Structure formats: structure tokens, C-alpha cells
Amino acid sequence: MFNIFRSVIISPTAKARYNKFFEEIYVASILNYWKLKLHLRRKTHFLLLALTLIGNSGLSIAQSEQLQLPRQMAWTAYNLGSTGYNQAVAIGAMLREKYNVTLRVIPGQNDVSRLLPLKMGRVDFTANGVATYLAQEGMFQFASKEWGPQPLRLLMTSNGLSNQAVAAAADIGITRFSDLRGRRVPYVRAAPALNISMEAYLACGDLTWDDVVRVDFPGYEASWNGIINGDVDVAFGTTVSGPPFRLEASPRGIFWLPAPHDDEGCWDRMLSIGPYFTKHIATRGASVSEINTHEAGTYPYPLLTTLIEQDSQLVYNLTRAINENYADFKDSDPGAIGWAIESQVFDWVVPYHEGAVKYWQEVGVWSESLEAHNQSLIRRQEVLSFAWEEVANKNLDNEAFAALWQQTRATYLSEAGFDPVWQE
């Protein structure tokens, strides 16, 4: 291969030895070249990988700086299997995937069991129902010495395609609320939210509990089973919940009674008892569709609720996380579509937390009129707090205490220019 001594007089043996020496040097240099190239390639690969990891880490750090959420949170919600529970679990799954948050959802059998852990500081939030409003007002089960008016705040709510309404058995020919005079109507024990809502719809037909036959039941599902079993004629509930579908599939069938939106008398009477209702045309539920719509009322469910003292930055971050990642959980439950920003009802009967207000202002959906409404609701809570201070330390039995509180509450609210709604 090498013959560098062609012009030099040298013995053949020495020439062969020198040629072999330089050939070994050449081979070694070639091998070192490829080793160096492979080494540099590996170095480059690891460098790029490191830069990628650093970049991703930077994005994660930036994201965590923008949305700092606790590694663990706890909420209360409705019973296992309810649409409120399912939606809370779906939001929890999103929070775990996006922000590495573990959300523990604790089912509560009734309004008190959902709100007591929040009041005691054992949970951060509750995916509650209309009892949020009752607790704010300190009424019904919250009119006791242990409770009183609660300074609750909203983050956002679910306003789906369903209604909160009254259905009748389809085989008895009832088509309007005035037809319920003398009929059997369920009253669910220890569930004022259900009973007040039923009373509000009775008022749409210009009726009261005195105009119907009250039949007591131990729970929500039992009241619906009462229609199937022939014990009552109607029941109140959500059009998308399980019991109405069972009634629909039964021999009796189902018919949802309308509360026409152009009937001013109906709605004036309804709102005087249940001011939390809003007019709504449902397109989803048992025997309800986009073709067979239902015109009546509804209210948000569930409502993501916390206390006034909850950290504003946490509230801001959680509100933002849910809104920005709505697409990740909207199909998890038929009611989850109600968390969409365009479905939010900001002028409801419970004020929004300042952390949530800050976020809704940033995304451009919070107006001056909404702020004025929110401040009015906060002022109402302040008046309720003053009224409670007057009676909280009275040494009275439970019945006398509740009566004094309701009277004091109504007086304070009326003098401050607010409607007490309920007064004895």
C-alpha cells in the first residue's frame, strides 16, 4: 500500500518494515476519526435531548407559575352516580391530567352533609345545588343556632340543556299546573330545596300546599317511584336524571308540565317563592329533545361554591383551569356541557368570589351591570350577617330561636330594601 521510499536507496527488508509502520498509523487514524465522529454525534444527541428536556421543563415551570394549584384538593358533591358527582369527578380527571392535582370528591347524602365539611374547613369547595342559596339566606335547615346565614361565593356553575321541573304521569290527563288541585303531590322529608321548588311550580298554577294532597316520602327517588307505584300523581326533578327515564319507560309514561314564559302571573308567583329559577327551554331529558322541547324553569346545577375567605389566587386559578380545559370534560356527562362559558349565568342569587370575578373580567364577560348586581348580593349577605348577630346568642329553644331569627331576618332585609322572600 505505502511505497514512500521509491527514490531512496534502502534495503527491501527495511522498506517493508517502514511501509507496515505507516500503514498501521493510517489505519489507526481512520479508526480514531470514526470514533471521534461517533462520540461527537452522541454528544450532540444528548445535548439536543437535554435542551429539549430543559425547554419542556421551562414550559411546565411557566405553566405552574401561571396556574399554581395545590397537589391535593377535596370537594363535596351529590350522591354517587348523580350528574353532579359525575361532573365533579370528570373535572378532577382533567385537573390530574393537566396539573397533576388529585381531587377527592366526597359524596353527600343531603344539603347539610355537603356544606358542613366546607363550613368546617375540611374541604375547599363543594359542587352543590340550590341549597347554596338557602344556606346564604340562613333558612330552613340552616335557620338553626349551628348554622345561620353563610358567606358563600360562586366560582362558576353548570347550566345544561335540561330543566328543573315537575312531571306528571301521562295516563291521568294533567297538562297544566292548575290541574293539580286536589291531586296527590310528594313532599320529600328534610329536602327543602325540592319542596320549595314544588311549591313554586304550584304557585304557577295559583295553588298552594293547601290545595293539594301532600304525600310524604323519605327521598328524591322514592317520590318518583311513588308515581310509578300509583301513590302520587307528580314529582319534581331534573329532566335528565335517572328517575324520570324510569317513569318514561313505565306503563304510566311521563308528561312534563309547562310554565309558559309569557305567562307573567305564573312567573311572578313562582319567583316570589323560588327566586333562583330562570326561564329555560330544555332540549334534553326523558321525553325531551330538540324536537320535543320543554318550556319551564331551571337553575344551575351543580354550583362550584366556596367561602368568602377562600384564597383569591386559588379561586382565580381553579376558575381559569376549568374554563380553559372545558373541552376535556364536556362529554363526560350529559350535564357537563353546562360549564361552557356561554352558558354561565352571572346574575343569579349568590355572589361570585372576587378571585372568580377577576378571571371573568379578564376574559371579557363581566360587565359593569354584573358587578353592580354582585355588589348588591354581597350587601345582602352583610345585612343577613348583622341580623344574625342580633339573635345568635339568644338562649332560646330551637323552635323559638328559629321563629325569632326569621322575624329578625325579614325585618333587617326589608329595612335595607331587600325582599326577604320567606317570612313567617
Three-state SS across the chain?
CCCCCCCCCCCHHHHHHHHHHHHHHHHHHHHHHHHHHHHHHHHHHHHHHHHHHHHHHHHHHHHHHHCCCCCEEEEEECCCCCHHHHHHHHHHHHHHHHHCCEEEEEECCCHHHHHHHHHCCCCCEEEECCHHHHHHHCCHHHCCCCCCCCCEEEEEECCCCCCEEEEEEHHHCCCCHHHHCCCEEEEECCCHHHHHHHHHHHHHCCCCHHHCEEEEECCHHHHHHHHHCCCCCEEEEECCCHHHHHHHHCCCCEEECCCCCCCHHHHHHHHHHCCCCEEEEECCECCECCCCCEEEEECCCCEEEEECCCCHHHHHHHHHHHHHCHHHCCCCCCCHHHHCHHHCCCCCCCCECHHHHHHHHHCCCCCHHHHHHHHHHHHHHHHHHHHHHHHCCCCCCHHHHHHHHHHHHHHHHHHCCCCCCCCC
With a cut of 80, say whether residue 32 has pLDDT above it: no
Tell me: do 38 and 139 sit in the same domain: no
In a domain, 361, yes or no: yes
Give residue-wise pLDDT tens across range 114-141: 999 999 999 999 999 999 999 999 999 9
Say what the pLDDT of residue 83 is. Answer: 85
Rounded to whole angstroms, the Cα distance separating 218 from 213 reads 17
In a domain, 424, yes or no: no
Peptide bond into 302 cis (omega under 30): yes
With a cut of 50, say whether residue 57 has pLDDT above it: no
CATH at 174: 3.40.190.10
Identify the band that residue 8 occupies on the pLDDT scale cut at 50, 70 and 90: very low
C-alpha cell at 414: 326589608
More confident residue, 238 or 13: 238
- Best-predicted range by mean pLDDT among 1-15, 26-40, 41-55, 233-247? 233-247
Tell me: do 251 and 324 sit in the same domain: no
Give residue-wise pLDDT tens across range 323-342: 999 999 999 988 899 999 99
In a domain, 423, yes or no: no
Across the chain, mean pLDDT equals 89
Could you tell me which of 166, 101, 109 has the C-alpha nearest to residue 314? 101
In a domain, 55, yes or no: yes
Task: Tell me the residue length of the chain.
Answer: 424
Identify the band that residue 51 occupies on the pLDDT scale cut at 50, 70 and 90: very low
Tell me: do 172 and 284 sit in the same domain: yes
Query: Residues 273, 278, 279, 280: is their CA dihedral positive or negative?
Result: negative
Buried-exposed string 72-105: b where 16+ CB fall within 10 A, e elsewhere: ebbbbbbeeebbbbbbbbbbbebbeeebebebeb
- Per cent of the chain over pLDDT 90 is 78
With a cut of 70, say whether residue 28 has pLDDT above it: no
With a cut of 90, say whether residue 209 has pLDDT above it: yes
Give residue-wise pLDDT tens across range 355-409: 999 999 999 999 999 999 999 999 999 999 999 999 999 999 999 999 999 999 9
Tell me: do 381 and 317 sit in the same domain: yes
Say what the pLDDT of residue 283 is. Answer: 97
Tell me: do 238 and 139 sit in the same domain: no
In a domain, 340, yes or no: yes
Total domains in the chain come to 3
With a cut of 90, say whether residue 65 has pLDDT above it: no
**Averaged pLDDT, 230-250:** 95
Rounded to whole angstroms, the Cα distance separating 150 from 163 reads 27
Tell me: do 280 and 340 sit in the same domain: no
Could you tell me which of 343, 185, 186, 360 has the C-alpha nearest to residue 278? 343
- The answer to whether 340 and 354 have CB atoms below 8 angstroms apart is no
Give residue-wise pLDDT tens across range 154-192: 999 999 999 999 999 999 999 999 999 999 999 998 889
* Distance linking the first and last C-alpha atoms of the chain: 116
With a cut of 60, say whether residue 63 has pLDDT above it: no
Say what the pLDDT of residue 424 is. Answer: 65
C-alpha cell at 340: 361552557
Identify the band that residue 6 occupies on the pLDDT scale cut at 50, 70 and 90: very low
Tell me: do 53 and 99 sit in the same domain: no
Say what the pLDDT of residue 41 is. Answer: 57
With a cut of 70, say whether residue 245 has pLDDT above it: yes
Rounded to two decimals, what is the model's pTM?
A: 0.82
Tell me: do 171 and 275 sit in the same domain: yes
With a cut of 80, say whether residue 39 has pLDDT above it: no
Say what the pLDDT of residue 2 is. Answer: 45
Identify the band that residue 15 occupies on the pLDDT scale cut at 50, 70 and 90: low
Tell me: do 278 and 178 sit in the same domain: yes
Tell me: do 318 and 409 sit in the same domain: yes
Tell me: do 147 and 207 sit in the same domain: no
Say what the pLDDT of residue 82 is. Answer: 84
Say what the pLDDT of residue 1 is. Answer: 46
Report phi then psi at 205, rounded to 5. -90, 15
Q: Which domain holds residue 183?
A: 164-298
- The answer to whether 138 and 149 have CB atoms below 8 angstroms apart is yes
In a domain, 420, yes or no: no
In a domain, 213, yes or no: yes
Say what the pLDDT of residue 49 is. Answer: 46
Say what the pLDDT of residue 242 is. Answer: 85
Torsion of CA 398, 401, 405, 408, to 10 degrees: 160
In a domain, 269, yes or no: yes
With a cut of 60, say whether residue 55 has pLDDT above it: no
Say what the pLDDT of residue 405 is. Answer: 98
With a cut of 90, say whether residue 38 has pLDDT above it: no
Tell me: do 349 and 291 sit in the same domain: no
**Averaged pLDDT, 285-290:** 97
The domain boundary, picked from 22, 39, 66, lies at 66
The domain boundary, picked from 66, 97, 116, lies at 66
